[in-house]
Chain A
Amino acid sequence: MEIPDASLILEARGLSLSYGARIAVEGVTLELRRGEVLGFLGPNGAGKSTTMRMLTGNLRPDSGTVSLCGIDLWKDPLKAKARLGYLPETPPLYRDMKVDDYLKFAMKLHRAMQDSLPDIKEKCGLQDAGSRLIGSLSKGYQQRVGIAQAILHNPDVIILDEPTSGLDPNQIREIRALIREIGNRCGVILSTHILSEVESLCDRVEILHHGKQVYKGSLEGSRHAVEVGFKHPPSIDELSSIHGISKVEALSDGLFILRHEEKQNPTEALVALAADKGWGLTRIAPSRGSLEAVFAELTREGS
């Protein structure tokens, strides 16, 4: 029998959904551990929001399973949802309610202690907004109320769909700091199409394109990587046997991302070997902002 991994707080297997003939999401598989921030990246319409709706029980997948802390979301929804906080793309706010009343209502729905309200409001920067109508708040403040709603019951898994959209740069910084802080205690999945956000916030990234996962990676490694292109690409084994290269990722069209240890840059050895074996090196660059390259490469239309 498999030993359940206690730190594994969200596990999704083979999530698929289609609207008629159009496949929205196909075979998405995810894992999230406590203390981890997972970035969900993809161009508009890639299926990020759809996937998140399935992860939170708002949309029933055609196939696939989701379990939160080992509880199946569709078999035992109430128990699983008690561990979940969700901010959809459009914050689910009742415009004709006051901020305090709304947050109290959300707390009751989640069976959370009412006395943590001032604390939550302070975290989200809502101290002065308590008696204002939600409909009269600016977009940035509404977004904060939305985030407050997602975290007020100390859930294990927090799913945020574009949490920083509509915020000004200062607010973005505050919200990122907040997400980083929450991410230490529980697990966070956030979707965005801002690459720098993923780079500054997330431990891992998943890129989604046309409803499929096209890239999974740790951001730790991507900070030490080289991007290379060959006319006559060698096999992955050949590349990974080069001294210093820890991991090889093949992109399309003979492009590769080569990860290496911090002090073992393989560039020199690689260039020599490529000339030697006639691989036809077309491109080599330190992969600063490698995520951007990966993203552009994988999600280019028509490729």
Chain B
Amino acid sequence: MIRIIAAREAKALFSSPQAWIVFAIFQAILAWIFLARLDAFLGVQAKLQHLVNPPGVTEWIIAPLFSAASMIFLMIIPLFTMRLIAEEARNQTLPLLFSAPVSSLEIVLGKYLGLLVFLCAAIGLVLFMALTLLLGGKIDFGLLFSNVLGLFFAAASFAALGLYISCLTSHPYLAGIGGIGALLGLWAVRFGSGGFFRAISPSDHFDRFNQGLVDTGDIAYFLLAIVLFLMLSAWRLEQR
């Protein structure tokens, strides 16, 4: 059942023009950042050689690229999640799922995984962009791996939060704005003083992946957030 719903969701995303437009903008901005960082790297490359332990091309280009991708995800994932439940509620198509022998959790997981497939394609494109650097030199695969993992967890947790907000309203725009607001809020929470605020904000957790540090604590943070919001979504659908 989950697979059936996920397949339909992914197919709907891949065949909708809106998704491709957002995809194209995402890719264009990242390409600009990628080229700008590459240009800067080529400019200082000669000087870097005199340093004892010079930063490589991965730290110079790939890490900022993934960092930017995570910020853009923060903005665009709510645009995708707002469709998942809120738009169906608005179009009154939810009864198809609700009167079929499918549980709320299956609906939530199906929709979530469908979107995740789409987001993985987006991450794949960022990865592909990074791998083009192999044409001109070597890259640090460990750092690249931790960045891909970090970006995946960030995207997955943003999508789970967005999905939950999508369950709360039948106005897609409200769900979109609410999602962006909540994610930006969580991002801004890091500026609060004290370890608690830094711990609940996804920023620090992602930053460690971004620096090449794969910490089980950070993985647990993202997994917990994903499970929490998926459970809340299923519960919310159950209560309607």
Interface residues of A (CB under 8 A from B): 53, 56-60, 77-79, 81-82, 84-86, 88, 90, 92-97, 105-106, 108-111, 149
Contacts and interface: CB of A to CB of B under 8 A. Distances in A.
B100 A110 contact: yes
Contacts of A96: 12, 15-16
B6 to A, nearest CB: 12
Contact of A77 (B12, B94, B103, B239): B103
Interface in B192-240: 239-240
Given A79-B101, A96-B16, A106 B96 contact: yes
Given A60-B240, A88-B95, 20 more contacts: A56-B99, A58-B94, A77-B103, A78-B101, A78-B102, A85-B99, A86-B95, A88-B92, A92-B96, A96-B15, A97-B12, A105-B8, A106-B100, A108-B4, A109-B96, A109-B97, A109-B101, A109-B102, A111-B101, A149-B96
A120 to B, nearest CB: 15
A94 B232 CA distance: 26
Contacts of A88: 92, 95
Nearest to B3: A108
B93 interface: yes
Interface residues of B, number: 22
Given A79-B101, A81-B99, A81-B100, A109 B4 contact: yes
B98 interface: yes
21 contacts: A56-B95, A58-B94, A58-B95, A60-B239, A60-B240, A77-B103, A78-B102, A81-B102, A86-B95, A86-B99, A92-B93, A95-B91, A96-B16, A97-B12, A105-B4, A106-B100, A108-B4, A109-B101, A110-B100, A111-B101, A149-B96
Given A56-B95, A58-B95, A92-B93, A110 B101 contact: yes
A93 B12 CA distance: 13
Contacts of B8: 105
Nearest to A108: B4
B1 interface: yes
Contacts of B93: 92-94
A210 B95 CA distance: 24
Interface string B95-121: 111111111000000000000000000
Contacts of B92: 88, 90, 92
| Max chain A Cβ within 10 angstroms of own Cβ: one of B5, B92, B99, B100 | B99
Nearest to B15: A96
